[in-house]
Amino acid sequence: EAAVTQSPRNKVAVTGGKVTLSCNQTNNHNNMYWYRQDTGHGLRLIHYSYGAGSTEKGDIPDGYKASRPSQENFSLILELATPSQTSVYFCASGDGTGGAAETLYFGSGTRLTVL
């Protein structure tokens, strides 16, 4: 069974603090993605990766960094968290076959509140 696990499930951070959101997948998928979900916007792509050592900017990368140290792990880093980054963050993995043929598996999300 494909699995994507995010941690923590909930996080409260202070403005200016550093936040790291973690994602682990046991699917051996090449592609991994970080999205944020806000009311009125749908999910928006922050960063993605094609494999260990690679990170690419998505549609809204400003204020975020990403790290893919291994096939299984993909982290999202907020070096200086701001209240505008309060959101629900989703990680996903994909089997990398491309386009419509790629199956995507999502984690359960991390709810981040920046005070």
Partner 1 sequence: KTQVEQSPQSLVVRQGENCVLQCNYSVTPDNHLRWFKQDTGKGLVSLTVLVHENDKTSNGRYSATLDKDAKHSTLHITATLLDDTATYICVVGANTNTGKLTFGDGTVLTVKP
Applying CB under 8 A, the residues found at the interface with partner 1 are: 4, 31, 33, 35, 39-45, 48, 56, 58, 90, 92, 94, 98-100, 102-109
Q: Return the number of the residue (81 or 89) whose C-beta is nearest partner 1.
A: 89
CB of 57 to partner 1, least distance (A): 10
CB of 104 to partner 1, least distance (A): 6
Q: Return the number of the residue (40 or 62) whose C-beta is nearest partner 1.
A: 40
Query: What HEC string does the chain produce?
Result: CCCEEEECCEEEECCCCCEEEEEEECCCCCEEEEEEEECCCEEEEEEEECCCCCCEECCCCCCCEEECCCCCEEEEEECCCCHHHCEEEEEEEECCCCHHHCCEEECCCEEEEEC
CB of 22 to partner 1, least distance (A): 15
